[in-house]
Structure 1
């Protein structure tokens, strides 16, 4: 049996109108073409759908049963068409994001909120996990997008890397705020906030002080930079901070906040990556959000540069 959608639609119109001529006008075909299509449909089914008496069509009991089936198929097809249309315009679908702590408090939720605002049919999931856990979630295809510190490349993950410069955050009342660039010599012996010992920013920062022969005074050890901003604002310490945390603070606090951002040399970098499953093709909605995320990361250094240039 080889039934077509056009046959089903034509049959439905004949049943609704009770007339070949009226059905032909509705479907935009000639009366002979509709008659031929109904005859072909009956041949395919192996039984008559209409009794033809005195120029009139009378549906058989089989035709009434077949109409229910045809309408169910066409309704399902219409729903599928609508769903695919929503997917094609990014108004429907699922988007599952696993995000590392530095970006999960403000940067990622802000970006995702803007993306989803005109997409009410979108199903979202956003979780915060450590970068190592995110790698495994993406490699196993449990999440569509991971945003994490740059991992060692592996075949099961496709990654797009961004090397972001760390900045020096200090109290706006600190005399060092008058300088455009700060170096280990300027911070010699000053209380410092730093991430846990194994973190790449911590090792780079301590190495910079050692190489210059100046004293590094670890005052506060953190898991993420965000809590350190409060200590810095109170003048308790200075912090070499990742760009995402500094950027998030700037956007949330456009006015005076008690903090000042300055460039630090030698350059301390914090590389982050957009991760997607290596053995899966991203959906259209995933691709669209990755484009937004990429643009936000590319714009971020310019926004930080404005803060660095502020008096």
Structure 2
């Protein structure tokens, strides 16, 4: 009907003219009515054929759109990715990584939500989100997790005399006002235990839910802090120069373990798999960058961290 003749139709689909005539006859037998009137060797479309053509073109249009959608999905350009992230990584680290990941993927929809680590654990276990980035939970069958043990860093005012040291200990901080997370948090427990183990006086001035506001207090000279790597790294990315802060190793080591969480009983989308791969590389990159920075004069590594 588009080409106007059997011979033109045969050339268009790469078939012989008798083959196309047979295909039309078979179709008419299947649907139970004639699509063409045959007079003097010519085919004239029936009104039913006109209606049938409209239906077929609508179906073929949907098939073509579906093919394009599948192509975008296979190239990670289309789909939806739902991510739950704990506060330390939600402001800079994950958004920055997502920005890089989404380049050239304009039709990939992302849902990013910030929640506490215990809430993220339940959201992943119940398959509400595709992946979570949180503090490490206890293992459970409904969650697959990749764990990363990250060393905490001592944060000092930039002009603090202790910046002359490469490693800061509880003895160095005896009686100094400290900012720590809430009492039940593992980093707070480890930090206080390090002071007790050396018989050093621990002075808690600020109790926080996240380390981020503590950076402002340290910069103002109100306290010092033993802080997780993700918060430190995010701060450097956001303000690589003139931060008013210095970062040194703390001994004995205080660890802050983070994990990439995915539902244990669900198949991950291709977009999810690709982003998880990038996230794993980024977490390893944080460790490498901060470790290198702690072993080098800080000013020399600013550009690398940027």
Does the TM-score normalized on the shorter chain lie above 0.5?
yes
Q: 1:6 maps to what in 2?
A: none
Say which of 245, 265, 270 aligns to 1:259: 245
104-113 or 43-52: bigger deviation: 43-52
Q: 2:74 maps to what in 1?
A: 88
SS in 1 for 2:204: strand
Q: 2:303 maps to what in 1?
A: none
Number of residue pairs matched?
A: 297
Q: 1:277 maps to what in 2?
A: 263
Say which of 42, 46, 53 aligns to 1:56: 42
Asked if 1:303 is matched to 2:289, the reply is yes
Aligned 8 A contact 2:83 2:112 in 1: yes
What is the CA distance between 1:43 and its match in structure 2?
Answer: 2.2
What is the CA distance between 1:179 and its match in structure 2?
Answer: 0.6
CA deviation vs aligned residue, 1:77-114 (integer Å, no higher than 9, x gap): 00100111111111111111111111111111111122
What is the CA distance between 1:197 and its match in structure 2?
Answer: 0.2
Q: 2:236 maps to what in 1?
A: 250
Mapped partners of 2:230, 2:238: distance in 1: 12
What is the CA distance between 1:44 and its match in structure 2?
Answer: 2.0
* Structure 1: gaps spanning 5 or more residues: 1-14
Mapped partners of 2:135, 2:90: distance in 1: 13
Asked if 1:203 is matched to 2:198, the reply is no
Aligned 8 A contact 2:123 2:129 in 1: yes
What does residue range 177-188 of structure 1 map to in structure 2 within 5 Å? 177-188=163-174
Mapped partners of 1:45, 1:131: distance in 2: 60
Say which of 214, 217, 223 aligns to 1:231: 217
SS in 1 for 2:2: helix
Asked if 1:102 is matched to 2:88, the reply is yes
Mapped partners of 1:307, 1:257: distance in 2: 15
CA-atom RMSD in angstroms = 1.3
* Structure 2: gaps spanning 5 or more residues: 299-306
Aligned 8 A contact 2:92 2:237 in 1: no
What is the CA distance between 1:276 and its match in structure 2?
Answer: 1.3
TM-score (norm 1): 0.92
